[in-house]
Amino acid sequence: MRQGHKGRICLAAASAAALLFAGAFFGGNVHGETGNEPGYVSRLFDDSRVHTIDLQVEDWDGFLEQAGGETYIPCDVVVDGEKISRAGLRAKGNNSLRLTEEYGLHRYSLKLEFDHYEDGRNYYGLDKLSLDSSFQDNSYMKSYLVYDMMNFMGVPAPLCSYVWVTVNGEPWGLFLAVEEPEEAFARRNFGSDHGKLYKPDYRRLSDENADVALRYVDENPESYDNIFRNAKFHVSEEDQERLIEALRTLDRGEDLETAVNVDEVLRYFAVQVFVMNWDSYLGRTGHNYFLYEEDGVLSILPWDYNLAFGTYALGMTDPIRDPDVLINYPINTPAPGEVMQERPLYHNLMKNDEYFQKYHEYFDQFLKGYIESGYLEEKIQETGEMIAPYVRQDPTAFCTYEDFLTALDTLEEICLLRAESARGQLEGVYPSTFRQQLEHPGSGVDASHVRIQDLGDFDDLEEAAARKK
């Protein structure tokens, strides 16, 4: 293992600990934009520092008891000392919410809607905000890092920054504030005349869910309930027809540039495949992404990365826990064959030789610019030093401070080894498909010393529950 972060970050944490609870709150109604970009970009989403959010709730214990229902309650929110009155607050998540509740923990991810009770209310142009709890992420950094990677590759990604959350003035923990992909996100990325935004997601995993996989079924909008039911904006009959036609073109596999923002999608997949995130479009569930449509052209946008870097195991076979398998996961066939055939946005693009070559070019650019340049190591080091004093003091953390330091080392090691493997696959040194790997077992980077579970596992939840007692 390469030189770790523990010594360097411990020193930084000790020197910064005294500043942890600095800051004061004051009232005021916050709204509007400044300059050419919404004001919230340079305020809350300045990721060079840890921000503060105080949730002012009348009955916090009652809220926690009912969190599983995902029901909104009124909440005053104080962001870096500026107050937004009567926002909507609820817990959020699927398995993360259920498991947090099952283990008797109360560190839920949260969603804030500034405009929930009053149309137009916002924080410097921001309408909705998520507070990510870092569930199964002992590094506190998986989602933050992937969004940064996506941004580096020019893929529209949610803004994010770290926030120290208090409840009625009492410490609650370090969370990742994430810009929710809704109206403010769409306006920031695509302009005031933006297209339509969807978050395809299944009602039941046991259903066929062809629409979530972006497969063309027929011309009936009812066949795409998992898409249109989860529209972020009003959808007309014309909007439905336009999206269905795009899916039909995607299904045919011809003239794809008329229905897909090819360059952007290929850049998305370069990062997506690198970070080994299977709680996603390329996983068996096929969800956890946003779909953007404008003028009949589709883009896929990033979302939800707490289980990235090989830490998603649901529905996977036992070998997937093998670090050698994970680190060397093939970049050209990044899903089992039965899954690949049902993911046309990846499969049908990669059948085109020109697009396949571009995908490799973008992968190369990502490796050179983000990993091999040293940027990744610097990013993890600087961010780790910044958040360490907050992690040390986090009263609801899923892990210990030592676990956090170990996870930082593990995250960096996984990224560097994955880059080494991906580079070898691009250059033909290592096998880059499942078939080639079966023909050449044992080929690839030696990652046997890596403990993937150090990034976050169910054992951490059990230990957190035990510490709470």
Chain centroid to Cα 265, Å, comes to: 16
Residue 425, domain member (yes or no): yes
Last residue of a domain, one of 154, 187, 220: 187
pLDDT for 10: 58
Domain co-membership, 137 together with 215: no
Domain co-membership, 126 together with 254: no
pLDDT at 468 over 90: no
Domain co-membership, 170 together with 249: no
Mean of the per-residue pLDDT values for the chain? Answer: 91
Total count of domains within the chain: 2
Stretch 148-156: mean pLDDT, rounded? 98
Domain co-membership, 204 together with 157: no
Predicted model pTM:
0.93
Identify which of 25-39, 305-319, 445-459 has the greatest average pLDDT.
445-459
pLDDT for 5: 65
Domain co-membership, 52 together with 200: no
Contact 414, 394 (CB under 8 A): no
Residue 258, domain member (yes or no): yes
Closest CA to 78 of 41, 52, 114: 52
Domain co-membership, 115 together with 248: no
Residue 145, domain member (yes or no): yes
Domain co-membership, 257 together with 349: yes
Residue 316, domain member (yes or no): yes
Residue 385, domain member (yes or no): no
Domain co-membership, 137 together with 236: no
Domain co-membership, 141 together with 248: no
Distance CA 337, CA 4 (A): 38
Residue 409, domain member (yes or no): no
Q: Which two tokens stand for residue 408?
A: 């930082």
Domain co-membership, 165 together with 200: no
pLDDT at 257 over 90: yes
User: Any idea what the Cα angle at residue 16 is, between residues 10 and 20, rounded to 5°?
Assistant: 120
pLDDT at 305 over 90: yes
pLDDT digits (tens, 9 = 90+) for 161-220: 999 999 999 999 999 999 999 999 999 999 999 999 999 999 888 888 999 999 999 999
Question: From the CA atom positions of the chain, what is the Rg in Å?
Answer: 22
Domain co-membership, 141 together with 272: no
Domain co-membership, 126 together with 267: no
Contact 173, 442 (CB under 8 A): no
pLDDT digits (tens, 9 = 90+) for 401-436: 999 999 999 999 999 999 999 999 999 999 999 999
Residue 464, domain member (yes or no): no
pLDDT for 315: 44
Residue 70 sits in which domain range?
A: 6-187
Residue 465, domain member (yes or no): no
Distance CA 463, CA 361 (A): 44
Which residues contact residue 5 at a Cβ distance below 8 angstroms, ignoring those fewer than 6 apart? 380, 381, 384, 405, 408, 409, 412
pLDDT digits (tens, 9 = 90+) for 106-151: 999 999 999 999 999 999 999 999 999 999 999 999 999 999 999 9
